[in-house]
Amino acid sequence: MSANPEHPSDSPDARRVIALEKEKKALQQELAKISRERIEYLQNVSHQLVAPLHAIKWHIENLASGRVGVERGKKVLRSIYSQSTIAVHLAKNFALMSNLDADHKLSSLREPLEEVELFRLLINLADDFQPLGWDRELQISVKNGTPFEAAPPVLAIKPLISQVFSNVIENAVKYSQRGYEIIIDGAHHPRSNVVSVTVQNRGILLKAEDTNKIFERGFRTEEAKSQYPAGTGFGLYIAKRIVELHEGAISATPTEFGAIFEVVLPVRALEGKARQRGPKDNSSYR
């Protein structure tokens, strides 16, 4: 008696078709998820951009009408600066989302590498975000008289590295408790030839299981959502992508009172790996 012929669904060709169908379905689900995330991100960013722009418009109308005195006018101008900082920060993150998703190598980005003095950069960024800090009774301080001040410049794409620290500082301002200080410090580590920068804040307690998740695209802790419902969850993801492009590392460490974020960047490791800007006058450094 002859053996039964192989069932059609058990043939190699049939199994390949089934596997391809499963892969196709999985890809379709992934594309649908990405599409939903993009729509949600656009809606969220649009909503967040409208709020500071409306505030700026309202403040300018008050100033133009002459309804405020000199002292009140100073506070209004400070608020305009603070709200414009938020709007610019959101717009930069919005632009970077597209660029970082499209470009996977440092050499494919248009901006050149240049020497960046992180101590001076952080002082400028602290000044930029201080009006936002005042709104929450927070002081943003860069420690001077420490090894950070003597750290050598790192070779990096300055606008991108600036955005990394802008995102980390803005994150600290949003989630710190009122009346405390955000402390920024750093140091050069000669043996590994890297510069590390830390941003310490007192606020939402970071759970150990969330220390890696907070750098994932769109992830926000329940505590963060409760304190700041309008957040996008993309700031730290963008920071991580940029730092990794620069062959560095970013991490978060829970503390008793909040969290410490650390960014580690190599000093010269990127030399020859992308176009480099020539020497320039550091007096215009920002």
Residue pair 245/221 in contact (Cβ under 8 Å)? The answer is: no
Structure confidence by residue, pLDDT tens digits, 53-101: 877 887 788 788 777 777 777 777 877 877 787 777 777 776 676 666 6
Q: How far are the Cα atoms of 13, 15, 17, 26, 51 from residue 21, in angstroms, in the given order? A: 12, 10, 6, 9, 45
Classify residue 71 as left (phi > 0), alpha (psi -120 to 50) or beta. Answer: alpha
If you search the block for the tokens 């890696």, which residue do you land on? 212
Domain spanning 12-102, CATH architecture? Orthogonal Bundle (1.10)
Q: Is the pLDDT of residue 123 over 90?
A: yes
pLDDT at position 152, please? 96
Closest CA to 217 of 239, 196, 202, 198: 239
Structure confidence by residue, pLDDT tens digits, 220-271: 777 777 666 566 677 888 899 899 989 999 999 988 888 899 999 999 988 8
Domain 108-284 of CATH type 3.30.565.10: yes
Q: Is the pLDDT of residue 133 over 80?
A: yes
pLDDT at position 283, please? 42
Residue that wins the pLDDT comparison between 72 and 175: 175
Between CA 222 and CA 175 the distance in angstroms is 12
pLDDT at position 265, please? 97
Structure confidence by residue, pLDDT tens digits, 13-45: 778 888 888 888 888 888 887 777 677 666 666
Distance of CA 141 to the CA centre of its chain: 19
| Phi/psi at 32 (5° precision) | -65, -40
Average pLDDT, the chain: 81
Beta strands 181-189 and 139-142 are: parallel
Between CA 245 and CA 270 the distance in angstroms is 10
DSSP symbols for 269-284: TTTTSS-B-----GGG
pLDDT at position 228, please? 65
Q: Is the pLDDT of residue 48 over 70?
A: no
- The pLDDT confidence band at residue 142, using thresholds 50, 70 and 90, is very high
Closest CA to 155 of 37, 32, 276: 276
pLDDT at position 282, please? 46
Q: Is the pLDDT of residue 161 over 80?
A: yes
Percent of residues, the chain, with pLDDT higher than 70: 81
Q: What is the domain partition of the chain in residue ranges?
A: 12-102, 108-284
Q: Is the pLDDT of residue 281 over 70?
A: no
Residue pair 185/201 in contact (Cβ under 8 Å)? The answer is: no
- The pLDDT confidence band at residue 191, using thresholds 50, 70 and 90, is very high
